[in-house]
A and B are shown apart, each in its own frame.
Chain A
Amino acid sequence: MRGSVAIVGVGLAGCGEAPGWSETEIAAAAAKNALADAQLTSRDVDGLVVASTNIFMPGLSLAEHLGIHPRFTDSTMVGGSSFVGHLIPAALALQAGLCDVVLVAYGSNQRTGVGRAEAGKYKAALDPQPFEHPYKPFNPPSSYALAAARHMHQYGTTRAQLAEVAVAARKWAQLNPEAFSRDPLTVDEVLGSRMISDPLTVRDCCLVTDGGGAFVLVRADRAKDVAKQPAYLLGAGSAHWHRQISSMPDLTVTAATESGMRAYAMAGLKPSDVDVIELYDAFTINTILFLEDLGFCRKGEGGAFVSGGRIAPGGELPVNTNGGGLSCVHPGMYGIFTIIESVRQLRGECGDRQIKDVRIALAHGNGGVLSSQITALFGTRETL
């Protein structure tokens, strides 16, 4: 699969607040932008991949809206990791010749549309979790809080180290005019903000925004003819070991250990080859866990690793250069934005936040409560 497909267009829509827009409309608007970026039109699309937390048959809804008749459709739903995960079936479908142009899209109006609390009631009724819900965890924050508390207990990770993750994300967001939260933020402000589920404060938690994203994937032979520099998929790997936090074998070790290994093996790369990292930071503990599990530091050392501005602008390791789910955008499922920012960094389009000479980018999706982990590695043409 290495190097066989490439992303040739990316687009955003409705990020922040999109009052008066439906989820499908936001996904369609992101698709329109991604197709324009690729200098293609909806007439060229014959493969469609989309996932939603609310829409029953999102692939059918979006295809109908766009007026396309896909030859290949996938709507695999593994939470926020979905869109990173979609790379794998999409690449296989392209390689098999089932289709030629795959559009992957997402849209959500969770901030201004149907509220999460209301949607949550329907979901709890249709998909009860009888071994957790009676104890009223405030999810997802409580599940991540349990992981953070265990990491702190086992490795001495501190709340200030968690706060460093939020501060680094905010500093990146301040360099990104498209980011939602750009006010200055200090470690003390994170520590002093409202506690949600100990040890996580509201500033340890991702944003709640509207927004959508899309990307266009084609075979590498076709990618040669496109307008902008293609981002080649060099490796991808997926793993999940649980759905509910109470079934997670060890709350300090995620399945990113396996998804990362699989992606690195396919790409023939190692962590030190990666120039920029885009991780799903639903909560500050995520960044620490994924940096450990993806091999950027040793298990238990993530707290110290993110301190002193190491992952902030000007630090040794650029992580979540758009500001992440913590400060840029988080419309319920953030995974697709890790890919979009990876592609933009590889193309050198990121303005003030652009990392110099990016050749390899890592996008990592997380779904559920540290449940589904999917890692992808992208590279420029010279990395093929």
Chain B
Amino acid sequence: MPAPEPGPEKIYSDKLAQGRFEIQKCAACGRHVFYPRVLCPHCGASRLDWVTPSGNGTVYSTTIVRRKPADGGDYNVALIDLEEGVRMMSRVAELAPEQVKIGQRVKSRVAEGLVEFVPA
């Protein structure tokens, strides 16, 4: 018997481990879905297809997590709105944490199995 297909979270992280960032899109209502689900959280339909987002996003909100320099120093945590209409937690790299601003345009990249963003 073939092994059962893994759940959407595992499929997502396996793709990411191969450097591919994909999100779901509902075949019924056409809306994008993130994080990966078993059924569409917008309309309840069950067919969700994997699609590659443009990677274009906007910083919706941002914070600087304060950490002692000895532990690695301050870092950024941000919420990014993708142009596909979904939001995700991530970080903006290549900028000092205090330079990350709400409304900034950013572009996704995959780094060490994680989606992060850089200034567009």
**B113–chain A nearest beta-carbon distance, Å:** 8
A244 vs B89: C-alpha distance when bound (angstroms):
10
Q: Are A142 and B61 in contact (CB under 8 A)?
A: no
> Can you list 18 A-B contacts (CB < 8 A)?
A130-B35, A135-B89, A135-B90, A135-B114, A137-B77, A142-B77, A146-B61, A153-B102, A195-B64, A195-B66, A197-B66, A198-B64, A198-B98, A245-B79, A245-B89, A246-B87, A251-B61, A251-B79
A142 vs B64: C-alpha distance when bound (angstroms):
8
Q: Is B50 an interface residue (CB 8 A)?
A: no
A146 vs B62: C-alpha distance when bound (angstroms):
6
**A353–chain B nearest beta-carbon distance, Å:** 34
Name the residue of chain B whose CB is nearest to the CB of A201: B66
Q: Are B77 and A135 in contact (CB under 8 A)?
A: yes
A198 vs B89: C-alpha distance when bound (angstroms):
16
- Interfacial residues, chain B to chain A (CB-CB below 8 A): 9, 13, 34-35, 60-66, 75, 77, 79, 87-91, 98, 102-103, 114
Name the residue of chain B whose CB is nearest to the CB of A151: B61
Cβ of A131: which chain B residues have Cβ within 8 Å of it?
34-35, 88-89
Cβ of B90: which chain A residues have Cβ within 8 Å of it?
135
Q: Is A136 an interface residue (CB 8 A)?
A: yes
Q: Are A150 and B89 in contact (CB under 8 A)?
A: no
Of the candidates A153, A196, A246, A247, the one having the most CB atoms from chain B within 10 angstroms of its own CB is A246
Which 3 pairs, one residue from A and one from B, show the smallest C-beta to C-beta distance?
A246-B89, A145-B63, A150-B61
Q: Are B88 and A246 in contact (CB under 8 A)?
A: yes
**B35–chain A nearest beta-carbon distance, Å:** 4
Given A130-B13, A146-B79, A150-B60, does the pair A136, B65 have CB atoms closer than 8 Å?
yes
Name the residue of chain A whose CB is nearest to the CB of B35: A131
Near B by CB (< 8 A), chain A positions 142-200 give 142, 145-147, 149-150, 153, 194-199
Q: Are B9 and A130 in contact (CB under 8 A)?
A: yes
Q: Is A138 an interface residue (CB 8 A)?
A: yes
Name the residue of chain A whose CB is nearest to the CB of B116: A135
Cβ of B9: which chain A residues have Cβ within 8 Å of it?
130
Cβ of B91: which chain A residues have Cβ within 8 Å of it?
135
Q: Are B66 and A153 in contact (CB under 8 A)?
A: no
Cβ of B114: which chain A residues have Cβ within 8 Å of it?
134-135
Cβ of A246: which chain B residues have Cβ within 8 Å of it?
79, 87-89
Cβ of A194: which chain B residues have Cβ within 8 Å of it?
66
- Starting from the known contacts A145-B63, A251-B60, 16 additional A-B residue pairs (CB-CB under 8 Å) come to A134-B114, A135-B90, A135-B91, A137-B63, A137-B77, A146-B61, A146-B62, A147-B61, A149-B62, A150-B60, A153-B61, A197-B63, A197-B66, A199-B63, A245-B79, A247-B35
Cβ of B87: which chain A residues have Cβ within 8 Å of it?
246-247
Name the residue of chain A whose CB is nearest to the CB of B63: A145
Q: Is A44 an interface residue (CB 8 A)?
A: no
Given A150-B102, A245-B79, does the pair A138, B89 have CB atoms closer than 8 Å?
no
Q: Are B75 and A149 in contact (CB under 8 A)?
A: no
Q: Is A132 an interface residue (CB 8 A)?
A: yes
A131 vs B87: C-alpha distance when bound (angstroms):
11
Q: Are A142 and B79 in contact (CB under 8 A)?
A: no
